[in-house]
């Protein structure tokens, strides 16, 4: 990371997106490995470990598929022009396409083409991981120009026994209790969904590593979506169910248009509490989705029997912006400020989790704060409003409410109570219960 001061974190993240953008990633293969390695090296995350899970490994109801790699693909039209060129955009090839090299008629070719009539300039993002087929994705405009005749279709890909790759970074804390952060890296050249996710996630990891101490242990993973989370859970869910106190699925965190929240299955976990607390106080116009709107790895993390306390904080949510899953989701959509906005909300959420504890007053009734310099010594019409947050915070310090719950009750952001809490602790008026 070139820039180390805070103001440049957004730009650093953006430049990392630029570097990763051209690589053709999928749920397995060299593109994923190479991207993971760039992230590890550029962010200096020495302890980020890559795991390889062999093709055929059983993972609950699934098994790890064959590894897919591709080096080239195109179509030659009847006039000899090269179209749908993989080297121009890796979105032109249906993900996991089998190899092909033959001549076919336009009519037969049409069966293998995918386009979006309502978004005529966009190349759609299409995959077929679990049924073998080949296909090309093309803009509707280009498709309509195709003339009758014979086309040569060429895909130089390979499906073979290999392995699924994922990255895991464990950052130890004072306790075994874990904060879990997951993002995915399996999408080819798209920017909000999904280069923003792993870039923001691992930039947060870098910040976490820079802290002097952490209450929680952090379990941070970069996986392929769906099969990756299922694979990871099949190997780790018992420990995670025991230790994870809050988690975030980090996806679509790069544009500038909105802040979004998608709850956990239960909707009232610690992750939900902290996410809505931070969003409400920092971006009160944030969009709140239903758990029923989930389409990412919450599907696995919150599935029946797994039920981790995990929610999603996003900028504009997958499926809710027109460029989603097309070639239009590019580096003009994602911005340094977009990335940095998401980074700040996630960082603040983590800070709130770290600051969260249960306090109890050490004296009965209100303490005499005036003699400690914490209360106006002169009583006027306004004197009590000056210290309102402090008095409201104190009254709920009964050992039954966490700081975060109190902040919610008294409608004050936890980070604005920091000084109050610190003063009251310094005066021995509060003791930590949990």
Judged by CB under 8 A, the chain residues 197 through 226 that form the site for its own copies are 226
Q: Least distance from C-beta 333 to its own copies, angstroms?
A: 16
DSSP state of 413: -
H or E segment and range at residue 145: helix 140-145
Q: Least distance from C-beta 172 to its own copies, angstroms?
A: 27
- Establish if 244 lies at the interface with its own copies (CB under 8 A): no
Residue labelled with tokens 């050992």? 399
- Judge whether 297 and 267 are in contact, CB under 8 Å: no
- Establish if 148 lies at the interface with its own copies (CB under 8 A): no
- Judge whether 430 and 421 are in contact, CB under 8 Å: yes
Judged by CB under 8 A, the chain residues 264 through 283 that form the site for its own copies are 265
- Establish if 237 lies at the interface with its own copies (CB under 8 A): yes
Q: Using the rule CB under 8 A, which residue among 4, 46, 337, 411 binds its own copies?
A: 411
Specify the stretch interacting with its own copies by CB under 8 A; choose among 33-41, 122-130, 178-186, 202-210.
122-130
- Establish if 128 lies at the interface with its own copies (CB under 8 A): yes
Residues in the chain: 434
Question: Would you say 118 or 212 has its CB closer to its own copies?
Answer: 118
Judged by CB under 8 A, the chain residues 284 through 323 that form the site for its own copies are 291-292, 295, 299-300, 302-307, 319
**How many CB atoms lie under 10 A from the CB of residue 272?**
20
Specify the stretch interacting with its own copies by CB under 8 A; choose among 97-105, 124-132, 140-148, 348-356.
124-132
- Establish if 423 lies at the interface with its own copies (CB under 8 A): no
In sequence order, the 6+-apart residues with CB closer than 8 A to the CB of 323 are 122, 192, 329, 330, 333
| Strand segments (E) across 91-149 | 100-105, 113-114, 136-137
Q: Using the rule CB under 8 A, which residue among 123, 221, 230, 262 binds its own copies?
A: 230
- Judge whether 393 and 421 are in contact, CB under 8 Å: yes
Q: How far apart are CA 159 and CA 137, in angstroms?
A: 19
Question: Would you say 12 or 329 has its CB closer to its own copies?
Answer: 329
- Judge whether 151 and 192 are in contact, CB under 8 Å: no
- Establish if 410 lies at the interface with its own copies (CB under 8 A): yes
Q: Which residues of 6-35 are buried (b: 16+ CB within 10 A; e: fewer)?
A: eebbbbbbbbbbeebbebbbbbbbbbbbeb
- Establish if 233 lies at the interface with its own copies (CB under 8 A): yes
Judged by CB under 8 A, the chain residues 245 through 264 that form the site for its own copies are none
Quick one: tokens of 284? 């009160």
Contacting positions for its own copies (CB under 8 A): 59-62, 94-95, 114, 116, 124-131, 133, 226, 229-230, 233-234, 237, 265, 291-292, 295, 299-300, 302-307, 319, 324-326, 360-361, 363-368, 370-371, 377-381, 384, 388, 391-392, 394-399, 410-411
């Amino acid at each position: 990371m070139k820039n180390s001061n805070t103001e440049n974190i957004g730009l650093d993240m953006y430049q990392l997106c630029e570097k990763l953008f051209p690589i053709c990633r999928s749920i397995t293969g060299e593109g994923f490995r190479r991207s993971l390695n760039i992230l590890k090296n550029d962010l200096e995350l020495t302890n980020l470990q890559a795991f390889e899970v062999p093709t055929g490994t059983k993972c609950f109801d699934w098994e790890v598929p064959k590894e897919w790699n591709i080096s080239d693909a195109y179509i030659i039209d009847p006039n000899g022009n090269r179209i749908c060129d993989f080297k121009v955009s890796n979105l032109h090839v249906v993900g996991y396409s089998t190899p092909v090299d033959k001549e076919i008629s336009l009519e037969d070719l049409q069966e293998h083409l995918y386009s979006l009539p309502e978004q005529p300039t966009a190349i759609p993002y299409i995959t077929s991981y679990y049924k073998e087929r080949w296909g090309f994705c093309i803009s509707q405009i280009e498709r309509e120009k195709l003339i009758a005749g014979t086309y040569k279709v060429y895909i130089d890909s390979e499906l073979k026994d290999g392995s699924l790759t994922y990255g895991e970074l464990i950052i130890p804390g004072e306790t075994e209790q874990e904060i879990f952060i997951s993002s995915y890296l399996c999408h080819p050249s798209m920017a909000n969904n999904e280069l923003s996710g792993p870039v923001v996630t691992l930039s947060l990891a870098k910040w976490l590593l820079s802290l002097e101490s952490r209450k929680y242990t952090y379990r941070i993973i970069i996986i392929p979506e769906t099969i990756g989370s299922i694979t990871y859970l099949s190997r780790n869910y018992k420990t995670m169910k025991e230790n994870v106190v809050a988690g975030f699925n980090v996806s679509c965190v790069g544009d500038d248009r909105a802040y979004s929240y998608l709850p956990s299955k239960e909707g009232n976990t610690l992750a939900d509490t902290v996410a809505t607390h931070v969003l409400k106080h920092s971006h009160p116009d944030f969009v709140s989705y239903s758990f029923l709107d989930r389409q990412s790895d919450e599907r696995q993390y919150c599935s029946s029997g797994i039920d981790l306390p995990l929610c999603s904080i996003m900028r504009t949510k997958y499926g809710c912006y027109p460029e989603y899953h097309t070639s239009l989701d590019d580096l003009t959509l994602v911005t340094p400020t977009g990335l940095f906005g998401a980074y700040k909300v996630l960082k603040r959420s983590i800070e709130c989790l770290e600051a969260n504890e249960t306090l109890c007053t050490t004296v009965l009734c209100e303490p005499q704060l005036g003699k400690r310099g914490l209360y106006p010594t002169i009583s006027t019409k306004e004197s009590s409003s000056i210290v309102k947050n402090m008095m409201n915070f104190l009254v709920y310090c009964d050992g039954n409410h966490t700081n975060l719950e109190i902040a919610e009750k008294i409608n004050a952001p936890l980070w604005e109570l920091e000084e109050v809490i610190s003063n009251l602790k310094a005066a021995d008026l509060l003791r930590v219960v949990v």
